[in-house]
Copies of this chain bind each other. A is one copy, B any other.
Amino acid sequence: MGYMNTATDPAGRHRWLTDEEQRVWRAYLHATYLLEDHLDRQLQRDAGMPHIYYGLLVGLAEAPRRRLRMTELAMKAKITRSRLSHAIARLEKNGWVRREDCPSDKRGQFAVLTDEGAEVLRRTAPGHVAAVRQALFERLTPEQQKTLGEIMEIVAEGLQPNEAGADLPWLR
């Protein structure tokens, strides 16, 4: 009992994970926890925000006029609109982001990266990239990197809610 067991498929009963699968799964959980935790702390310390907020600024920085509609940004970051509202409120309070009304749709709002926000990014991006590089890429062979990419694309594809037709509430 517990997470899973060693047995495979005893004629109709539950299929647990094999020992090997279990090893892989636990390694996955362990590593992804540690990495997320590591990056969250790194960014909290150096940029004063959690990883996902940083990702929002990056999303804006990459957008045409440093701006994106709330829903677009939520989709890009794969979070709910609600969560984004709260997050942007916080970033706005920090002065990294500003809200602007959408002229063509009065319901709409743009989240706009401010100069200050861009500056924070400029200042903290190198450290963040270094952290990612050091925690991940420097430790893997090119082979492993390639396989990791393939695996992650497969997994993401399998979980992708939308799939040409099944429009998703970006989310939930």
Q: Chain A residues in contact with chain B, CB under 8 A?
A: 1-4, 14-17, 20-21, 23-25, 27-38, 41, 55, 58, 61-62, 78, 118, 121-122, 125-126, 128-130, 132-137, 139-140, 144-156, 158-160, 172
Main secondary structure on A side of the interface with B: helix
Besides A2-B125, A144-B147, 20 more A-B contacts (Cβ < 8 Å) are A2-B121, A3-B58, A3-B129, A4-B129, A15-B130, A16-B129, A17-B129, A21-B145, A27-B149, A27-B152, A29-B55, A30-B78, A31-B151, A34-B160, A38-B159, A139-B155, A140-B154, A140-B155, A144-B150, A147-B151
Number of copies: 2
Residues of B within 8 A of A3 (CB): 55, 58, 125, 128-129
